[in-house]
Amino acid sequence: MATETAQSRGEALSPERRVFITKVSLALMGLASLLVAVPIIGFIIGPLVRRFPPRWRPVGSVDSFKIGETVKVDFRDPSPLAWAGVTAETAAWLRRTSEDKFVAFAMNCTHLGCPVRWLQEADLFMCPCHGGVYYPDGRVAGGPPPRPLFRYPVRVHNGQVEIRTSAIPIG
Ligand code: FES
């Protein structure tokens, strides 16, 4: 035999009971929304605020670089987002300055981050976006860039040239 409630008997709920049920419903809806929203927000925001420690990454054997030449070397972004895909592949400009000395410049212009190009004939780095120009040592030669090109620390380790990658300060 089913239990009869005030509602099933057609009786109206008292105002206090109605207010109580409304408050409980709202609290449960709020809790459910929180349970759904927190993981989603964490998934989106987490990678943007996470700190990635710098890492040494090999970019080629010492013998593969000629003294005085500036070449593009590829490596993986030190702080790739989970959904970055191929955009996590990045690069730097590497110059061998002597038998055991190298210098590495970030690809990104310090104005708005466009990739700069090394022009061997002009002996300059050029940014195609707004005409930023840099001297071979990374100093600003002209245009809107506010700072010299970012430099990566470089070392030779077990016959390999390694770049210490880290998040690049832009802008
Ligand atoms: S992004 Fe390079 S000059 Fe503006």
**pLDDT given for residue 76 in this prediction:** 79
Q: Give the tens place of pLDDT for each residue, 108-155.
A: 999 999 999 999 999 999 999 999 999 999 999 999 999 999 999 999
pTM: 0.69
Work out the mean pLDDT of the chain and round it to a whole number. 86
| CA geometry: angle 130, 132, 137, nearest 5 deg | 160
**Between vectors from CA 64 to CA 127 and to CA 92, what angle results, nearest 5°?**
25
Is the pLDDT confidence value at 1 over 60? no
Segment 34-40 shows an average pLDDT of 90
Which of residues 114 and 1 earns the better pLDDT score? 114
Domain with CATH 2.102.10.10 in the chain: 55-165
Q: Which is more confidently placed, 169 or 19?
A: 19
| pLDDT at residue 4 greater than cutoff 80 | no
108 alpha carbon – ligand 1 mean position (Å) = 9
In a mutational test of the pocket of ligand 1, which residue from 105, 107, 110, 112 has the highest number of ligand atoms less than 8 Å from its CB?
Answer: 112
- Contact between 84 and 52 (Cβ < 8 Å): no
Expressed in angstroms and rounded, the spacing between residue 114 Cα and the centre of ligand 1 is: 6
Residue among 107, 125, 127 to mutate when testing ligand 1 (max atoms within 8 A of CB): 127
* Rounded mean pLDDT, 68-94: 81
The CA distances from residue 117 to 12, 23, 68, 95, in Å, are 78, 63, 17, 13
Give the Cα separation of 75 and 25 in Å (integer): 53
Percent of the chain with pLDDT over 70: 81
Ligand 1: lining residues by beta carbon, under 6 Å:
109, 111-112, 114, 127, 129-130, 132, 143-145
Residue owning the nearest CA to atom 1 of ligand 1:
112
Atom of ligand 1 nearest to the CA of 130: 3
Q: Architecture of 55-165 per CATH?
A: 3-layer Sandwich (2.102)
The two tokens of residue 4 are: 């009869």
Q: Which atom of ligand 1 is nearest to the CA of 109?
A: 2
In this structure, of 48-57, 65-74, 114-123, the range with the lowest mean pLDDT score is 48-57
Ligand 1 atom nearest the C-alpha of 112 is 1
What token pair was written down for 121? 């004939």
